[in-house]
């Protein structure tokens, strides 16, 4: 999924996915200055906790959701 946030004239994008090759849960943050921050987790509960923690952090920093999340077709566990 991709979540969109904005603050002033800046946009922030958060992407979450599952890497089928490595069996990792992946959190990618696309910052307004062009930087990308990637975190990988082998344990789903740690991944979910980090996503919640990061969302709280950016909201505390004044970022607000700027639209509904988009579901990406690829990037989740293949059963």
pLDDT in tens, 20-43: 899 999 999 999 999 999 999 999
Give the domain range for residue 6: 2-65
Question: Is 79 among the domain residues?
Answer: no
Q: How many domains does the chain have?
A: 1
Question: Is 78 among the domain residues?
Answer: no
Residue 13: what pLDDT?
96
Give the pLDDT band of residue 72 (cuts 50, 70, 90): confident
Question: Is 20 among the domain residues?
Answer: yes
| 43-47: average pLDDT | 97
CATH of residue 16: 3.10.450
Question: Does the structure show a pLDDT above 70 at 9?
Answer: yes
The span from the CA of 68 to the CA of 8, in Å, is 18
How many of the other CB atoms lie within 10 Å of CB of 25? 23
Residue 78: what pLDDT?
47
């Amino acid at each position: 999924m991709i979540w969109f946030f904005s603050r002033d004239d800046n946009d922030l994008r958060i992407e979450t996915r599952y890497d089928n090759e490595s069996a990792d849960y992946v959190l990618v943050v696309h910052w307004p200055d062009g930087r990308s921050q990637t975190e990988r987790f082998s344990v789903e509960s740690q991944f979910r906790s980090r996503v919640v923690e990061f969302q709280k952090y950016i909201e505390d920093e004044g970022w607000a959701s700027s639209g509904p999340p988009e579901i990406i077709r690829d990037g989740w566990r293949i059963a």
